[in-house]
A and B are shown apart, each in its own frame.
Chain A
Amino acid sequence: MAELLGYGIVLGSIITLGAIGLTLVYGIARFGNFAHGDLMTLGAYLALLLTTNVFPALGISDSRLGPLSFGWVMLVSFVPAMAATGLVAVVVDRLVYRRMRRLRVPPVMLAMASLATAFILRSLIYIAWGPDFHFYTPGLRPMLMLPLGIKLRPDQIFIILIAWALVVLLYFFLQRTKMGKALRAMADNADLARISGIPTEQMTTWTWIIGGGMAAAGGILLGIDSQVRPEMGWILLLPLFAAVVLGGIGNAYGALVGGLVIGIVQQVSTQWLLPAYKPAVAFTVLILILLLRPQGIFGGG
């Protein structure tokens, strides 16, 4: 049980990274982005490209970092992979969603367009990398025995640390910086933000960069935890939405708690259920919240 709890926190940290971006995008662009899972996949593949193709081609050699299964090249790859994924999200916004915003289409049409984007992104990944599984680094990954019967791989401790470091960074950005406060203001009341002279299109761009970057980090961490494959993010989309709804749609801090809860519930459920039912567990949680407390745990009345 303690072991499953540990895995749950690992999965929950990854879900949180995706869910925060999803909820921020919802707050600013006002639609549920069905392509968010595939942005995670894209981030994971870009890191794969960097660690297995780009850096070796540049003649840069790598060595493992202590007990971790990967080296510093992986660490360095986070930044460009996150930036590139954020950029892809911005480009999609410019090409598709911004035009639709100007035509004042209803949010459900934007959500449908994002579903199409999800399929296109995934198809491009299939074309570029094929349907096979990939590992960032092959080989065995030993377990660490921690107190209280918790068993985690060193990689998984790294995943938790990186995910929470990013969450803390985002927290300070939203709480302390002018841009972060303006993002919260716009999510709260877009009309008043515009009246105050806040450049709303520029804010939307920043939201996609942050949301895409966080998604990419989540995708890479998911790849480190298991393997890199074209469906990895798409499968996570339902848990992402469940986490967002659980925390109250548009509430970044809610998404943080929602992500952890969904991750833990999914993993702990495997005590009694086959792992294949994990998405069904997330789905059940989602339905229960919608029925019992549709505004989410932290949503106001």
Chain B
Amino acid sequence: MSLLHVESVVCGYGEMEILHNVSIRVEKGEIVSLIGPNGAGKSTLMKSVFGLLSAWQGRILFAGDEITRMKPEQIVRRGLCYVPQVDNVFSSLTVQENLEMGAFIRDDDYRPRIQEVYDLFPDLKGRRGTRVGKLSGGMRQMVALGRALMLDPHMLLLDEPSAGLAPLVVELIFERIRAINQQGVTLLIVEQNARKALESSDRGYVLVDGQNRLEGLGRELLADQQIGELFLGR
């Protein structure tokens, strides 16, 4: 049984259909990336999985249970957390407060978890009292990941974690993403930076015009001639 199974989903905004029958599977423990050109529907797929958009047709299963028409606040309780591409931190709150908000629905003592997040992102520890709006883009991305990790999720959905970051910082963020994965968290990543994403992924899906175009192992897709021409700038 796959951890996440998106089955023939049709979805869009208002009258406009963006996803025409998309299916993906993510197995437990994997890093899977979703690549494709602008407007391919990658973010739309993320939003429909997380219940921010309601799928028109098809089914979405998480850990075997149907979550197709659930709201985000119900989905987080099942251990599926989401990091949006933009506005993914509370900028007027401190680093520590951002992490506390990530743990809002936890009734137990989450302080050990905060410590684990600081261990994962040591740079944040010294800035715990700093307002996140004053931090650099890379640090903010770490706060965004840290917030989503506070619920000890089974799976994370990351929308463009490298967007707007300097190459060295992108390197660092992907290195941390692999570290998160090694702690047992399954990840589905949407990326413009296809090469970077595929290098870190077990498998990848290529989405074009709201449809599945290709799928395969990360290294296979990296070596694929067609993908090279389309997205990797070869």
Contacts and interface: CB of A to CB of B under 8 A. Distances in A.
Interface of A: 178, 181-182, 184-185, 188-189, 191-199, 300
Contacts of A194: 72-73
A270 B161 CA distance: 58
26 contacts: A181-B100, A181-B101, A184-B90, A184-B92, A184-B93, A185-B90, A185-B93, A185-B97, A188-B90, A188-B93, A189-B87, A191-B84, A192-B84, A192-B90, A194-B72, A194-B73, A195-B52, A195-B84, A196-B104, A196-B105, A196-B147, A197-B73, A197-B76, A197-B77, A198-B73, A300-B133
Contacts of A197: 72-73, 76-77, 104-105, 151
B212 interface: no
B102 A196 contact: yes
Given A182-B104, A198-B104, 15 more contacts: A178-B104, A182-B101, A185-B93, A185-B97, A188-B91, A188-B92, A188-B93, A189-B87, A195-B52, A195-B84, A196-B76, A196-B105, A197-B77, A198-B73, A198-B101
Q: Please classify the interface of chain A as helix (H, G, I), strand (E, B), loop, or mixed, using the class held by over half of its residues.
A: helix
Interface string B162-177: 0000000000000000
B89 interface: yes
Contacts of B90: 184-185, 188-189, 192-193
Contacts of B81: 195
B172 to A, nearest CB: 23
B118 interface: no
Interface in B73-91: 73, 76-77, 81-82, 84, 87-91
B50 interface: yes
Contacts of A192: 84, 87-90
B76 A181 contact: no
Contacts of B89: 189, 192
Contacts of B147: 196
A195 B93 contact: no
Contacts of B72: 194-195, 197
Contacts of B76: 195-197
A189 B86 CA distance: 11
Contacts of A191: 84, 87
Contacts of B87: 189, 191-192
A103 B82 CA distance: 26
A197 B72 CA distance: 7
Nearest to B75: A197
A244 to B, nearest CB: 17
A182 B52 CA distance: 20
Given A192-B84, A195-B72, A196-B147, A181 B105 contact: no
B84 A196 contact: no
Interface in B91-130: 91-93, 97, 100-102, 104-105
Contacts of B133: 300
A184 B81 CA distance: 21
Contacts of B104: 178, 182, 196-198
Contacts of B82: 195
A69 to B, nearest CB: 42
Contact of B100 (A178, A189, A193, A300): A178
Nearest to A190: B87
B101 A193 contact: yes
Contacts of A195: 50, 52, 72, 76, 81-82, 84
Contacts of A182: 101, 104
Contacts of A181: 93, 97, 100-101
A197 B81 CA distance: 10
A184 B72 CA distance: 20
Nearest to B96: A181
A184 B52 CA distance: 22
Contacts of A184: 90, 92-93, 97
A199 B91 contact: no
A175 to B, nearest CB: 9
B175 to A, nearest CB: 25
Nearest to B91: A188
Nearest to B76: A197
A197 B50 CA distance: 12
A196 B146 CA distance: 12
